[in-house]
Amino acid sequence: MRFLLALAVLLNSSLMAMAAEGGNGGGMTVVDLTNYPLSWMVIVALVVAYGFVVWGEQHHLEKSIPVLIGAGVIWAIVGIVTHLQPDHVIVEQAEFGFEHSIIEIGELTFFLVTAMTYVVTLQERNVFEMVRYKLLGAGLSQRAIFWATGLAAFLLSPLLDNLTTALALISVVIAVGAATRDRMFVSLAAINLVVAANAGGAFSPFGDITTLMVWQAGKVEFFEFFSIFVPSLVNWLVPAVIMSFAIKSSDVEAYNEPVVLKRGARRMIALFALTLVMAVSAHIFLELPPVIGMTTGLGFLMLYGYFLSHHEHEHFEAPVLPDGIQDDMLAVLETHYKLKHKPFNPMTSIKRLEWDTLLFFFGILMAVAGVSQLGFLLKVSEYMYGNLGPTFTNSFVGVLSAVVDNIPVMSAVLKMDPNMVHGQWMLVTLTAGVGGSLLSVGSAAGVALMGAAKMENEEGRYVSVYTFMGHLKWTWAVALGYAASIWVHTLLHQMY
């Protein structure tokens, strides 16, 4: 059922995306070629590709594979359709559209590569483990930990992605749940983390891929994102207050393993902050893409990592192997097995990135760009934004992102480039960021916590405590927060 629903909703998303392109297509010149039967094959290719993404979740197929193939098929169809036209200018326009998409998506991809490399490096240096250690050692009650982890997620996700933030804090929740044997606490705290991480990422261009897309597209300036801080806060607080009444206020004594920051951790945090400042400064003062500041910061990280790795190599103590291991056997061990603890290597952080996610991001955006190139987006955009109104449509975008990944949905909106006031661009930025909280499968944070939030049952097996149905029971509370955030945003922008 979810498979069919996802396909139907994605088709609607694609039609919305198709509709807006007859305008300026996000900077590309687009000709309406939707009357050709072959043109509709790009919709079929997109739906099939996304269908295999949904299927692959259950069969361990990397989600990047179908979208990369689908993007290639879609652009091949675009090439065939444009070459069938008598006017050769249409072919040149399609070529320009492809090159424009590659540049735009490439900038976003390298921005994410830098940000994710810093996050992986900070994980390796025990920064997030230190956050867990400090929270558990504060002597808080269950209800206080519920609020502390939610607040930490809301404040960390503007700088980190919602996935990393949720995973870093769920360890605190699981430790408390293991000590108290309170499954309800773990489930509610996990929902709270998902909502808080998504809400916190909505008011920062670094907090979510969709906000980054809006920023780099020039629809919202850097400091303007903070105007949706209050609606984002309301989006988290409303369900958090409701759920907190179901949390016990008893004290907690959970096992808290001591953590020590590895050498260079604080300097890497400072480098990350400097990198973000350079990205913003390049965009505001030099009118250059933010990615140039990010990649420069990546170079600084790798340079510092070079000196750090040399220092750790000099002081590295190799593990003591059992006596009797022959030299040939030692060579085999060194070839086929990796040490758990070894000197820092900056390139290792890049190798550990979620490359499947990055390639999925590249593939799905290229696929949507190909669909938009044939001019599908204009008709539905005129209907959705013209007849139904921007407020209803932008609110629906958030609900849509709870079922379909918010990346293609936001990409579709940007390709539509509807003519709407600035406050409506802020609204769609908000709804696309927080709408995924409505379902556990609506965001990367929710999907990750369904696999990470596990507790030992009476039979000694570890089972998931945070589940789809468990989240669904509280969707009404999350929906109240979603509606309240839209109301607050509308009220604030009417006033100011």
Task: Tell me the three-class secondary structure of 81-113, residue by residue.
Answer: HHHCCCCHHHHHHHHHHHHHHHHHHHHHHHHHH
Asked if residue 222 belongs to a domain, the reply is no
Range of the domain at 460: 2-102+357-495
Work out whether strand 462-464 and strand 454-456 pair parallel, antiparallel, or are unpaired.
Answer: antiparallel
274 and 380, same domain (yes or no): no
> Is residue 466 within 8 Å of 450, Cβ to Cβ?
yes
**pLDDT of 474 strictly over 90:** yes
Percent pLDDT > 90 in the chain is 23
**pLDDT of 34 strictly over 80:** no
392 and 320, same domain (yes or no): no
Place of tokens 């965009």: 283
**What residues are paired with 464 via a beta bridge?**
454
Rg (CA), the chain: 24
Residues with Cβ < 8 Å from 326, sequence gap 6 or more?
A: none
Domain C-terminal end among 316, 343, 370: 343
Residue type for 46, please? L
**pLDDT of 57 strictly over 80:** no
For position 188, what pLDDT does the model report?
93
Number of domains in the chain: 2
376 and 469, same domain (yes or no): yes
338 and 365, same domain (yes or no): no
Residues 416-443 have a mean pLDDT of 86
For position 267, what pLDDT does the model report?
94
**pLDDT of 236 strictly over 90:** yes
Mean of all residue pLDDT scores within the chain = 81
For position 14, what pLDDT does the model report?
41
- Helix, strand and coil content of the chain, in percent to the nearest 5, comes to 75, 0, 25
Residue 417 falls in which region: left (phi positive, over 0), alpha (psi -120 to 50) or beta: left
Q: How confident is the model at residue 27 (pLDDT cuts 50, 70, 90)?
A: very low
* Burial of 420 from C-beta contacts in 10 A (0-12 / 13-18 / 19+): middle
For position 23, what pLDDT does the model report?
41
Hey, what are 158's tokens? Answer: 């503007």
- Least Cα distance to 205 among 188, 193, 184, 220 occurs for 220
- Least Cα distance to 415 among 4, 23, 12 occurs for 23
- Least Cα distance to 369 among 12, 14, 84 occurs for 14
Q: How far apart are CA 304 and CA 369, in angstroms?
A: 38
**pLDDT of 496 strictly over 80:** no
* CA 129 and chain centroid, separation: 21
Q: How far apart are CA 481 and CA 486, in angstroms?
A: 9
Higher pLDDT, 29 or 171: 171
Q: How many residues does the chain have?
A: 496
Residues 355-383 have a mean pLDDT of 79
Percent pLDDT > 70 in the chain is 85
Residues 173-190 have a mean pLDDT of 85
387 and 414, same domain (yes or no): yes
> Residue 158: what are its φ and ψ, rounded to 5°?
-60, -25
Asked if residue 284 belongs to a domain, the reply is yes
Higher pLDDT, 75 or 314: 75
- Least Cα distance to 466 among 482, 479, 448 occurs for 448
29 and 91, same domain (yes or no): yes
For position 403, what pLDDT does the model report?
76
Higher pLDDT, 461 or 173: 173
Secondary structure of residue 463 in the 3-state scheme: strand
**pLDDT of 347 strictly over 50:** yes
Domain C-terminal end among 319, 343, 367: 343
**pLDDT of 25 strictly over 50:** no
**pLDDT of 260 strictly over 90:** no
For position 377, what pLDDT does the model report?
63
Domain C-terminal end among 286, 321, 343: 343
> Residue 194: what are its φ and ψ, rounded to 5°?
-60, -50
**pLDDT of 19 strictly over 70:** no
Which uninterrupted H or E stretch holds 16? helix 2-19
Residue 25 falls in which region: left (phi positive, over 0), alpha (psi -120 to 50) or beta: left
Residues with Cβ < 8 Å from 413, sequence gap 6 or more?
A: 16, 17, 20, 397, 428, 432
Which uninterrupted H or E stretch holds 462? strand 462-464
Place of tokens 């909280």: 437
Residues 263-289 have a mean pLDDT of 90
Residues 377-393 have a mean pLDDT of 75
Number of helices (H), then strands (E), belonging to the chain: the values are 22, 2
311 and 364, same domain (yes or no): no
Residues 54-65 have a mean pLDDT of 84
**pLDDT of 141 strictly over 70:** yes
Count other Cβ atoms within 10 Å, centred on residue 340: 6
**pLDDT of 331 strictly over 70:** no
454 and 378, same domain (yes or no): yes
For position 11, what pLDDT does the model report?
39
Hey, what are 127's tokens? Answer: 């920064």
Q: How far apart are CA 382 and CA 101, in angstroms?
A: 23
374 and 435, same domain (yes or no): yes
